[in-house]
Amino acid sequence: MNSKQFKLLIGAFFIICGLGVVLLTRDRGSWQEAGREMGAKVFPAFPLNDVAALTIQGPTNTLNLAKSGDVWAVPDRGGYPANFDTISDLLRKVWDLKVLRPLKVGPSQLGSLELAEPGKGANSGTRLVFKDQAGKELHTLLLGKQHVSESGQSSPFGGGSFPTGRYVLADGRADSVALVQEPFSSVATEASAWLQRDFFKVEKIKSIAVTTTNSWKVSRETETGEWRLAESQAGETLDTAKTGSFNYALSSPSFEDVMSTSLADSGVASPQRIVIETFDGFTYTIDAGKPDDQESYLLKVQVAANLATERTPGADETPEDKERLDKEFAERQATLKEKLEKEQAYGKWTYQVSNWTLNSVLKDRSELLKQPEPPAEPITPLLEPPPAEDQ
């Protein structure tokens, strides 16, 4: 091999090495980029604290949630307070949302992941639209099909599968399709799913009066005393076995949904009235009834109270006892005043409640009374055997 050939060989060697380095660098760069995508946030700079409105567009309906000051509300329910914890949890999940697996999907394949536009058929997704106080759109997130995994064990509730993630599309960009680890199972387009669930609670009941076709009223002298029927008629005796539930009536009620219309506008023509008075001085006036097309009750509640302003000291109180008891009285009255202000706010809306919420109170007068004992059946005397004949 002469020197010219050797130089050509050396040159070819360096060219091949250079090409190898370029290819290796390019592949490594692609691998590094893919690695960043797989662990990257879906929204690198999601403005968590700037979100003041949220629109949820589902396959068949749209729900709006809005923030006024520090309070979230549901405009579709007359501005009823929304559950802050539920909304806060959703926003934090979106802020921290990371790509589990990026996907290259063409427009024609979006339907297979249920990422078609909301309202575009069975394969449409659910879009979350985040806005600021001025109504400016910050980001959108389209939720598609849930990713389901098999647990390997059968569940007592049926099947062994459970959601472990969801396919999403961010800000309408087709190149942002990804599988994320959050299934977003709690995202619903029904307004009732986002309502604040606090409600009034009746405590220490003193009397209950129900106005129906056969009105009645029961009362007791102390919190542990027996219930007595007011204005009882001849032959009426209250069955104490049927009044035990009155001790805890409406002590922890709940509601299914809320509306801003009146009972009459909601289909209740002749509501029944329940008036409950408590030993703390509260009066709950509840009007309720069932529309023709519903099984559950619709309910309106008005709350008033006559709270004591001072305590009557005992005859033998020491100065130390008086100071302690006055302090306890003041703290108790402050708690009752706060309870009153909170419960009076519920009077703005009409509530849909289940049957069991009111069935323990909405009884006919006859259901509270002891039933008359059936008359005893006459005893038929045994016939005496005929006298024996003389033999």
Tens-place pLDDT, residues 78-113: 999 999 999 999 999 999 999 999 999 888 899 999
Structural domain includes residue 4: no
Total number of domains constituting the chain: 2
Which residue's entry shows tokens 């068949």?
Answer: 60
Position 31 scores a pLDDT of: 30
Q: Which two tokens stand for residue 148?
A: 């389901």
210 and 183 in a common domain: no
Confidence class for position 9, pLDDT limits 50, 70, 90: low
Where among 138, 166, 194 does a domain terminate? Answer: 194
- Which residue range forms the structural domain that includes residue 286? 205-312+323-368
Q: Judge if 173 and 94 occupy the same domain.
A: yes
274 & 330 share domain: yes
Whether residue 391 is predicted with pLDDT greater than 70 in this model: the reply is no
Buried b or exposed e, range 231-248, using 16+ CB within 10 angstroms: eeeeeeebeeeebeebee
360 and 220, same domain (yes or no): yes
pLDDT digits (tens, 9 = 90+) for 256-292: 999 988 999 988 988 999 999 999 999 999 999 998 7
Count of CB atoms situated within 10 Å of the CB of 313? 11
Judge if 158 and 261 occupy the same domain: no
> Would you say residue 279 lies in a domain?
yes
pLDDT above 70 for 11: no
Residues 153 and 112 both lie in one domain: yes
* Mean predicted confidence (pLDDT) in 22-26: 40
Which is more confidently placed, 5 or 139? 139
Residues 248 and 359 in one domain: yes
Q: Let me know if residue 377 belongs to a domain.
A: no
**Weakest-pLDDT range from 29-43, 91-105, 210-224:** 29-43
Query: Are 112 and 144 contained in the same domain?
Result: yes
Report yes or no on 25 lying in a domain.
no
Give residue 151's pLDDT band: very low, low, confident or very high (50, 70, 90). low
| Residues 188 and 271 occupy one common structural domain | no
Cβ neighbours of residue 284 closer than 8 Å, sequence gap 6 or more: 200, 202, 250, 274, 275, 276, 277, 278, 301, 302, 303
Q: Is the dihedral of CA 211, 215, 216, 217 positive or negative?
A: positive
Does 157 have pLDDT greater than 80? no
- The sign of the CA dihedral 216, 221, 222, 227 is negative
Higher local confidence (pLDDT), 22 or 344: 344
* 299/171 same-domain check: no
Domain membership flag for residue 100: yes
Whether residue 186 is found in the same domain as residue 333: no
* 31 assigned to some structural domain: no
- Lowest model confidence (mean pLDDT) among 36-40, 49-53, 298-302: 36-40
- pLDDT reading at 10 higher than 60: no
Q: Rounded distance, CA 333 to CA 337, Å? A: 6
Report residue 320: phi and psi, to 5°.
-65, -40
Secondary structure of the chain as H, E, C letters: CCHHHHHHHHHHHHHHHHHHHHHHHHHHHHHHHHHHHHHCECCCCCCHHHCCEEEEECCCCEEEEEEECCEEEEHHHCCEEECHHHHHHHHHHHHCCEEEEECCCCHHHHHHHCCECCCCCCCECEEEEEECCCCCEEEEEEEEEEEEEECCCCCCCCCCEEEEEEEEEECCCHHHCEEECCCCCCCCCCHHHHECCCCCCCCCEEEEEEECCCCEEEECCCCCCCCEECCCCCCCCECHHHCHHHHHCCCCCCCCEEECCCCCCCCCCCCEEEEEEECCCEEEEEEEECCCCCCCEEEEEEEEECCCCCCCCCCCCCHHHHHHHHHHHHHHHHHHHHHHHHHHHHHHCEEEECHHHHHCCCCCHHHHECCCCCCCCCCCCCCCCCCCCCC
Task: Please check the confidence at residue 244 and state whether its pLDDT lies above 50.
Answer: yes
pLDDT tens, position by position, 303-340:
999 999 888 888 888 989 999 999 999 999 999 999 99
Give the per-residue pLDDT at 3: 58
Do residues 172 and 283 share a domain?
no
pLDDT confidence band for 230 (50 / 70 / 90): very high
Q: What pLDDT sits at residue 24? A: 38
- Cβ proximity of 109 and 54 under 8 Å: no
The pair of structure tokens assigned to 50 is 């700037």
Q: How confident is the model at residue 255, as a pLDDT? A: 97
Q: Is-contact 207 219, C-beta < 8 A?
A: yes
What confidence score (pLDDT) does residue 19 get? Answer: 45
Domain contains 307 = yes
Q: Does some domain include residue 9?
A: no
